Amino acid sequence: MIVSRPTPQSVHSDQPDTTPANPPQPTVPTRRAGEEELAQGQHRLDPALRMSVQRPAPGVVVVSMNGDIDLAAAPRVTELIRQRLTAAALRTLIVDLSMVSFIDTTGAELLLKAQRRADQRGIDMHVVPGQGCVPRLLDLTGINASLTCHDSVSTALAHAHHQ
């Protein structure tokens, strides 16, 4: 014999149901520290490219870069180098990449274009690739044969002073 017992939900009553008819709401996870920046398109580890310009001697400019040179940074790098190469009194441009943490083929292309523009204007361009990823990319692509590379900024400056 099967006996069926009523459950609290199946009990019928003549009184109207007073329970709210709101469907269950999904839980929304709260943001952890740092996620607000990510939601706004910023990076938690700031790989932004920092650039500085120094003029150690008349007619000599050193452009130093620290960070990532990629497609996102390309317009800034291109504009900065273009501005330096169009300066009337510029004799030598030194591009210091020793603190670059990442470079892709966009960065390699920028170096080649800068070298061509420097050659057209009669400006000596020297590159300091450093020890990290930059010399590896230059070697793999064969671009190092088209550039004048030095071990340090001081070596590039000494070479610039002798010309």
CA distances from 162 to 60, 85, 123 (A): 12, 20, 14
Q: Where are the domains of the chain?
A: 50-161
Task: Decide if 127 contacts 159 (C-beta within 8 A).
Answer: no
Tokens at 20, concatenated: 């709210």
The residue count for the chain:
163
Write b or e for each residue in 51-63: b if 16 or more Cβ atoms lie within 10 A of its Cβ, otherwise e: beeeeeeeebbbb
Q: How far is C-alpha 2 from the geometric centre of its chain's CA atoms?
A: 72
- In this prediction, residue 152 carries a pLDDT of 96
What is the per-residue pLDDT across 37-69, written as a single tens digit (0 to 9) for each?
Answer: 434 444 434 468 999 999 999 999 999 999 999
Q: Is the pTM of this model over 0.85?
A: no
50-161: CATH topology: Transcription Regulator spoIIAA (3.30.750)
Of 77, 85, 131, give the one whose Cα is nearest residue 109. Answer: 77
Amino acid present at 118 = A
What is the per-residue pLDDT across 66-105, written as a single tens digit (0 to 9) for each?
Answer: 999 999 999 999 999 999 988 878 999 999 999 999 999 9
